[in-house]
Amino acid sequence: MKKILLVSTAFGVLLSSSILLAADDEAPQWEYTGDTGPDHWGELSEDWSTCNTGQSQSPIDIVFTEAGEGDEIMLDYKPSGISVVNNGHTIQQNFDTGSTMQSGGSTYDLVQFHFHSPSEHTFNGAHFPLEVHLVHADKEGNLAVLGVMFEEGEANETLEKVWQVIPEKSDMTNTSEQKLNAHDLLPGNMDFALYSGSLTTPPCSEDVRWHVVREPLQVSKMQLKKFQDVISANNRPILPLNGRTVKTVSD
């Protein structure tokens, strides 16, 4: 990126726009530690400046209050084929079309889910060992994410369907003959915290509608180890609320 910045300074504005387009194709490397870690994401690309300057960023620490009515969600999840990607930053299951979430008057399609270990959101300052993000997008590309925590306990059978085909190397995709319904990755009680946040990875885009479920699921020590052996710690640190409201919505 240093080289690109030098060139655009030398040749002026006209050239810099095409150079930036070229830079888009080869997004800079980012990591969870060191010189390309979360504190520096906003400096790695002009398109990622929100990571440093955004005032509505995720994850946050969540303090649940008494659950209130209104802002309920409606989930209509269908079985999907299993297609699991190791993108170097996480393990991601890509969904067939047909699973939807209604929230705040919009309908969002379930696109993918992926995992963070340890969790990104904290409850009263405490991390969980694992968090899944079910990422939904509406027709205009607006995002809504459903986050669910895992505490250590019994093995999770639905997780196991994904874990069986985790690609051990990055930029690899594995498929399986089995089907998976995202509904099976949700707890019995769906009380959740609702707030407006961002993507937790570059470009850290805001206006993401976040729903973080209060009741955790269980994951076994073996399952945790399998994920952590392939993906090293991939949680962005907690960011300030900056006056945002976090509403506890009842199931």
If one asks whether residue 133 binds Zn ion (CB under 5 A), the answer comes out as: yes
CA distances from 209 to 70, 99, 106, 150, 177 (A): 15, 17, 11, 21, 33
Other C-beta atoms within 10 Å of 214: how many? 19
Binding residues for Zn ion, total number by CB under 5 A = 1
Mapping DSSP to helix (H, G, I), strand (E, B) and coil, where does residue 143 land? strand
Please compute, for residue 88, the number of CA atoms within 13 A of its CA located in the half-sphere on the CB side.
Answer: 7
Q: Which residue is nearest to Zn ion (CB)?
A: 133
If one asks whether residue 236 binds Zn ion (CB under 5 A), the answer comes out as: no
**Smaller CB separation from Zn ion, 133 or 161:** 133
Which residue stretch of 20-28, 48-56, 130-138, 160-168 sits at the interface with Zn ion (rule: CB under 5 A)?
Answer: 130-138
In the complex, what is the shortest distance from the CB of residue 146 to Zn ion, in angstroms, rounded to a whole number?
11
If one asks whether residue 127 binds Zn ion (CB under 5 A), the answer comes out as: no
Which residue stretch of 1-9, 125-133, 155-163, 176-184 sits at the interface with Zn ion (rule: CB under 5 A)?
Answer: 125-133
Q: Is the distance from CB of 90 to CB of 170 less than 8 angstroms?
A: no
In the complex, what is the shortest distance from the CB of residue 133 to Zn ion, in angstroms, rounded to a whole number?
4
Which residue stretch of 39-47, 131-139, 226-234, 240-248 sits at the interface with Zn ion (rule: CB under 5 A)?
Answer: 131-139
Task: Give contact residues for Zn ion (rule: CB under 5 A).
Answer: 133
